[in-house]
């Protein structure tokens, strides 16, 4: 089984090399004449005010949390989908109960208005 993963390891290595090589070539060929105006963050011509890293709308965190839960659900669905034709009705019903529970959660989110964006 491991022999299948050897090309992937090498491919990831080559991907890193390509990224690095491009950056190095670009840095060598391109000019390098920094000045204070050029290096300041772009803010439509104004000098930058306030810090960039401000607290964000809580909605973004909520989306990330809900995403973790649904991602876990997909993680459970993947092996089930692969073996469903072998595990018969029992396995099918087990997953339907599981999906039912998550559908309840999904409906709760919806009704609470956690999926609304304004």
Partner 1 sequence: MNLAQIFTDLVFFSFAAILVGSALMTIISRNPVRSALFLVLAFFAATGLWILLEVEFLGLILILVYVGAVMTLFLFVVMTLNIDVEEQRSSFVRYLPFAIVIVAMLVILMVYVISPGHLNPSELTTTGGQPVNYSNTTELGMVLYTDYAYPFELAGILLLVAIIAAISLTFHGKGNNKTQNPDQQILIRREDRIRMVKMQGDKK
Partner 2 sequence: MFNDLLLILWIIIKIIVIVVPLLLGVAYLTFFERKVIGLMQSRIGPNRVGPWGLLQPIADVLKLLTKEIIIPSASNRYLFVIAPMLTITPALAAWAVIPFSQGMALANINAGVLYLFALGSLSVYGVLVAGWASNSKYAFLGAMRAAAQTISYEIAMGFSFVGILLAAGSMNLQDIVLKQQGGFWHWYWLPLLPLFVTYWISGVAETNRLPFDVAEGESEIVAGFHVEYSGITFALFFLAEYINMIMVSTIAALLFLGGWLSPFEGIPLLGPLFAWVPGIIWLFLKIGGFLFLYIWLRATFPRYRYDQIMRLGWKVLIPVTLVWVVVVSLGVEFKIAPWFI
Q: List interacting residues with partner 1 (CB under 8 A).
A: 1-5, 9, 51, 53-56, 58, 60-62, 64-69, 71-76, 78-80, 82-83, 86-87, 90-91, 94-95, 97-98, 101-102, 104-106, 108-109, 112-114, 116, 118
With a CB cutoff of 8 Å and minimum separation 6, the contacts of 50 are none
Task: Name the DSSP letter for residue 113.
Answer: T
Is residue 26 within the footprint of partner 2 (CB under 8 A)? yes
Output 24 or 105, the one with its CB closest to partner 1.
105
* Nearest of 82, 62, 60 to residue 70 by alpha carbon: 62
Q: Does 104 bind partner 2 (CB under 8 A)?
A: no
Q: Is 90 in the site for partner 2 (CB under 8 A)?
A: no
> How many CA atoms lie less than 13 Å away from 64 in the CB half-sphere?
6
DSSP secondary structure of 13-65: HHHHHHHHHHHHHHHHHS-----TTTTSPPSTTSPP-S-S-----HHHHHHHH
Residue 106 φ then ψ, to 5° = -65, -45
Under the rule (CB under 8 A), what is the footprint of partner 2?
1, 4-8, 10-12, 14-16, 18-20, 22-23, 25-27, 29-34, 36, 38-44, 48, 52-53, 56, 60, 63-64, 67, 70-71, 74, 77-78, 81-85, 89, 92, 95-96, 99, 103, 106, 110, 115-118
């Amino acid at each position: 089984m491991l022999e299948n993963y050897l090309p992937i390891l090498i491919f990831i290595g080559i991907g890193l090399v390509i990224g690095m090589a491009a950056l190095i070539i670009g840095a060598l060929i391109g000019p390098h004449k920094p000045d204070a105006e050029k290096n300041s963050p772009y803010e439509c011509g104004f000098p930058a005010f306030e810090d960039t890293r401000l607290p964000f709308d809580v909605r973004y965190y909520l989306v990330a949390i809900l995403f973790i839960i649904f991602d876990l659900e997909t993680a459970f669905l993947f092996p089930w989908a692969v073996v469903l034709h072998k595990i018969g009705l029992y396995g099918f019903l087990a997953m339907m109960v599981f999906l039912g529970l998550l559908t309840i959660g999904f409906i709760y989110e919806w009704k609470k208005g956690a999926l609304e964006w304004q």
